[in-house]
Amino acid sequence: MSNALWVFGYGSLMWGPGFPFAERVAATLAGRRRAFCIYSVHHRGTYQRPGLVLGLAPGGSVRGMAYRIAPADWDQVYAYLLEREQPTETYVEARRFVRLADGRRVEALVFLSDVHHPQWAGRLSLERQADLIAGATGLSGRNVDYLRDLVEHLGQEGVRDRSMQALLELVEAREAAHP
């Protein structure tokens, strides 16, 4: 199965892929970390009041989900992913090896944060992330709801991301102080 087609998800693709798949396996990607590192000016913020969304920032490792796609479904899945993940081209499409929970090592399609894109926020402190997320709202709703959904779903998948939990606590405190 060396020519198998895989997709790696680290955020909403983990619990809401939106495409058909033949296999779903927990996986780890080395060399990248889940981070709120992309300014959101449409879905979770505006140009006047940007929010933040997830990206795969350089460094560390990240637990997520890998999906094996049947060859007959690949073209449809790939087109869907480009539309979903690349509306403002803030990600770089790449192929990276991921380690599946069962020990297999497979190459998967991933969307890495483009550190040269104008919406790249870089490595922000938790406090700065909380300042940007608290109160931000875009076409897809409140930024805090996106973060809350992430933490909840990560927990359901058995992933405890302490930095995301800490960020949620900071954002909720800010929103409670300024309803």
* Cα–Cα dist 40/113, whole Å: 13
Alpha helices in 86-139 (DSSP H): 126-133
What is the chain's alpha carbon radius of gyration, rounded to the nearest angstrom? 16
Cβ-in-10-Å burial (0-12, 13-18, 19+) of 177 comes to exposed
Alpha helices in 65-125 (DSSP H): 74-85
Q: Is 85 part of the annotated catalytic residue set?
A: yes
- Whether the CB-CB separation of 130 and 170 falls below 8 Å is answered with yes
Active-site annotation holder among 23, 85, 107, 169: 85
| Token pair 């895989």: residue | 6
Phi-psi group of 20: left, alpha or beta (phi > 0 → left; psi -120 to 50 → alpha; rest → beta)? beta
Catalytic residues, which ones? Answer: 85
